[in-house]
């Protein structure tokens, strides 16, 4: 009879342990699922914000490139028209430098206004 009671006790203890561990496993599963759902939401928001960030930065770069090309064309035309007149050459170079400084400050202000590049969310540990 003692052996039978020990077997019954072992079965009861095993059932309790298995029942508790499966409940704990279900709780971990639920929290993991919630964390994954939150991560997916964060990834969707990240993709939208990084797309906007990249488009804005590309527009800033394109504007700078256009302004730079215009300044170079203006300088080239002014230097060609100046011939060998040092005063006109210096004026053309100064106008180019002023145009480039303006383009650079506009670009830098645009990039500063963009703010910090969005960071990718961290995947939860399962």
In whole angstroms, give the CA distance from residue 99 to residue 71.
6
Query: What mean pLDDT comes out for the span 100-124?
Result: 93
Arithmetic mean of pLDDT over the chain: 84
In this predicted structure, the answer to whether residue 8 has a pLDDT above a threshold of 80 is no
Per-residue confidence (pLDDT) for residue 72, from 0 to 100: 93
Per-residue confidence (pLDDT) for residue 46, from 0 to 100: 96
User: In degrees, to the nearest 5, what angle opens at C-alpha 10 toward C-alphas 9 and 11?
Assistant: 90
pLDDT tens digits for range 28-87: 688 889 999 999 999 999 999 999 999 999 999 999 999 999 999 999 988 888 888 899
31 vs 118, higher pLDDT: 118
Q: How many residues does the chain have?
A: 126
In this predicted structure, the answer to whether residue 24 has a pLDDT above a threshold of 60 is no
In whole angstroms, give the CA distance from residue 10 to residue 12.
5
- pTM of the predicted model over 0.75: no
């Amino acid at each position: 009879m003692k052996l039978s009671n020990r077997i019954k006790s072992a079965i009861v203890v095993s059932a309790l342990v298995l029942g508790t561990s499966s409940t704990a496993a279900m709780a971990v599963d639920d929290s993991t699922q919630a964390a994954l759902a939150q991560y997916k939401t964060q990834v969707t928001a990240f993709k939208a914000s990084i797309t906007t960030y990249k488009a804005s930065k590309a527009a800033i770069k394109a504007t700078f490139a256009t302004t730079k090309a215009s300044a170079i064309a203006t300088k080239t035309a002014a230097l060609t028209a100046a011939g060998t007149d040092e005063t006109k050459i210096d004026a053309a170079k100064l106008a180019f430098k002023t145009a480039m400084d303006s383009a650079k400050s506009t670009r830098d202000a645009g990039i500063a206004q963009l703010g910090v590049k969005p960071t990718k969310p961290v995947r939860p540990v399962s």
